[in-house]
Structure 1
Amino acid sequence: MGYIIEVEELISMSKLEDVRICDCRYKLGSPEVGGKEYEKEHITGAVYFDLEKDLSGQVEEHGGRHPLPNLVQFKNKLESYGITNDTILVAYDGGEGSFASRFVWLLSYIGHQNVYILNGGYQAWKDGWYPSDSNIPEYKQAEYRLHIHEPILASYEKVKEFSEKRPDDVVLIDSRETKRFLGIVELIDKKAGHIPGAINKVWTNVLDGGYFLKRDELKKTFEGISGDKEIIVYCGSGVTASPNYIALKEAGFTNVKVYVGSFSDWISYPDNPIG
């Protein structure tokens, strides 16, 4: 089983005792919207994870706009929701795919074995007329142990080395829209362009109406990239790179990493060149 599950599969899973549904809805530029949407209505029994408060850390000089969270604090959050290392986790967002994918990647990074993304997000759930409510569930405090899985995280130093040496066995993928990759448009970061040596695979191309493409279609999306390469994906701040991470794994690529700091971290070093 991969990372992606359908609504019908979640219905079957929800009958199991140790399952936790995780609401990751968020709106960039309007940070309070996701939490308010959760308070208004969510999948019955779901708990809420905020992109900036829970799935990201404090912004500093380096590290990008959505750096890794403090993992001890994140561990405490999981425990407060009654989540253990054996809990089956299913994340959803509004259907964008990026925020739930960030959750899935982050849980994979801390070593969680059973974590999935709901294909189509909350919209798919609502379209099926499945139960939702505004009740905020309470769960018994649990114990969680971190088992950091370093192979799926690409450090700044690793990306810097790639950009300077361009090894044949590494592929660097920029997940942003093409106009940002080419430096034609940039409304968020202080500099425009991309990390030298990167290729462009826009993250929205792995989705269709909020649903991830089927495996054969995902393979075509990344056609031309050899399966034996080390693949590093990045975006502006490490969030929209996550759907590409999920898609690459679903397509059968095994050695995939996320550069969490992404372009916003890269340009925080003034001497770094821009492509």
Structure 2
Amino acid sequence: MGYLMESEELLSMFDMGNIRICDCRFKLGAPDVGRKEYEKEHITGAIYFDLEKDLSGQVKEHGGRHPLPNLDHFKNKLESYGITNDTILVAYDGGEGSFASRFVWLLTYMGHQNVYLLNGGYRAWKERGYYSDDQLPHYEQAEYQLKIRESVLASYQEVKEFTEQRPDDVVLIDSRETKRFLGVEEPIDKKAGHIPGAINKVWTNVLEEGYYLQAEELKEIYKDISHDKEIIVYCGSGVTASPNYIALKEAGFTHVKVYVGSFSDWISYPDNPIG
């Protein structure tokens, strides 16, 4: 089993005590919307994780617009929800795929073994008429141990080294829409363009109506990439890189990392070149 879980499979596991369903709905530019949607209605028993308050850290001079959270604080939040290292975690968003994917990647980085993304998100769950309510659950405090997996995180230094010294050893994937990759249009960041040497694989192309494509279709998207190469995925701020990370893993790639700082971190160093 990979990272994806269908609604029917989650329903079959619903009465298991060792499972937590994680609502990651969010709206960029309107940060309160996701929490309000959760409080209005969510999958029964689900707990809420906010992209900016929980899944990201404080924005500083460097590190990008959605840097890694303080892991000790995040660990405390997991423990407050009764989550242990053995808990099965299933994350969903509204169906966009990016916010739940960020959760899945982050928990993978933290060393969690059983973390999945609900394919199709909350929309798919609701279309089937499965359990939902507005009740805020309470869970007993638990203990959680961090087991960091550095193999899925690319640092700024690694990306810098790639661009300067070993461009043939690494495939750098820019997940943003093509206009932003080419520098034709940049609605968010202060500079336009991409990290030199990167190729463009738009993250929305791995999804269709909120569902990840089948493995064979994903393999077709990445057919020009060698499985022997190390792959580093980035976007504008490290969020929409996550669907490409999951899709690459579903397509059978093993050496995949996310550059969390992404383009917004790269351009925070004024001397860095832009493609």
Offset, 1:15: 2.3
Offset, 1:164: 1.1
Look up the SS of the partner of 1:173 in the other structure. strand
Instruction: Please identify, of 160-169 and 13-22, the stretch whose mean Cα deviation from structure 2 is larger.
Output: 160-169
CA deviation string 1:89-137 (max 9, x = no partner): 0000000000000000000000000000000000000000011000000
Which residue does the alignment assign to 2:173? 173
**Superposition pairs of residues 144-163 of structure 1, within 5 angstroms:** 144-163=144-163
1:235 and 2:235 matched:
yes
Offset, 1:166: 3.8
Q: Which amino acid aligns with 1:9?
A: E
Distance in 2 between residues matched to 1:210 and 1:152, nearest whole Å: 24
Offset, 1:157: 0.3
Offset, 1:167: 3.2
Offset, 1:188: 0.2
Indicate the percent of aligned positions where both proteins have the same amino acid: 80
Offset, 1:28: 0.3
1:126 and 2:126 matched:
yes
Are the aligned partners of 1:166 and 1:197 in contact in 2 as well (CA < 8 Å)? Answer: no
Which residue does the alignment assign to 1:270? 270
Are the aligned partners of 1:89 and 1:114 in contact in 2 as well (CA < 8 Å)? Answer: yes
Which residue does the alignment assign to 1:112? 112
Distance in 2 between residues matched to 1:2 and 1:26, nearest whole Å: 24
Which residue does the alignment assign to 1:206? 206
Unaligned runs of 5+ in 2: none
Which residue does the alignment assign to 1:28? 28
Distance in 2 between residues matched to 1:13 and 1:271, nearest whole Å: 52
Which residue does the alignment assign to 1:55? 55
Distance in 2 between residues matched to 1:219 and 1:118, nearest whole Å: 21
Q: Which amino acid aligns with 1:123?
A: R
Distance in 1 between residues matched to 2:142 and 2:182, nearest whole Å: 47
Offset, 1:173: 0.1
Distance in 2 between residues matched to 1:15 and 1:159, nearest whole Å: 44
Distance in 1 between residues matched to 2:246 and 2:73, nearest whole Å: 25
Q: In angstroms, what is the RMSD of aligned CA positions?
A: 0.5
**Superposition pairs of residues 87-98 of structure 1, within 5 angstroms:** 87-98=87-98
CA deviation string 1:23-76 (max 9, x = no partner): 000000000000000000000000000000000000000000000000000000
Offset, 1:13: 1.8
Distance in 2 between residues matched to 1:201 and 1:4, nearest whole Å: 20
CA deviation string 1:208-261 (max 9, x = no partner): 000000000000011110111100000000000000000000000000000000
TM-score between the two structures when normalised by the length of structure 1:
0.99
Are the aligned partners of 1:79 and 1:142 in contact in 2 as well (CA < 8 Å)? Answer: yes
Moved segments of 4+, more than 4 Å: none
**Superposition pairs of residues 237-252 of structure 1, within 5 angstroms:** 237-252=237-252
Are the aligned partners of 2:167 and 2:197 in contact in 1 as well (CA < 8 Å)? Answer: no
Distance in 2 between residues matched to 1:267 and 1:106, nearest whole Å: 23
Instruction: Please identify, of 83-92 and 159-168, the stretch whose mean Cα deviation from structure 2 is larger.
Output: 159-168
Look up the SS of the partner of 1:218 in the other structure. helix
Offset, 1:14: 1.6
Q: Which amino acid aligns with 1:42?
A: H
Distance in 2 between residues matched to 1:167 and 1:190, nearest whole Å: 25
Offset, 1:205: 0.3
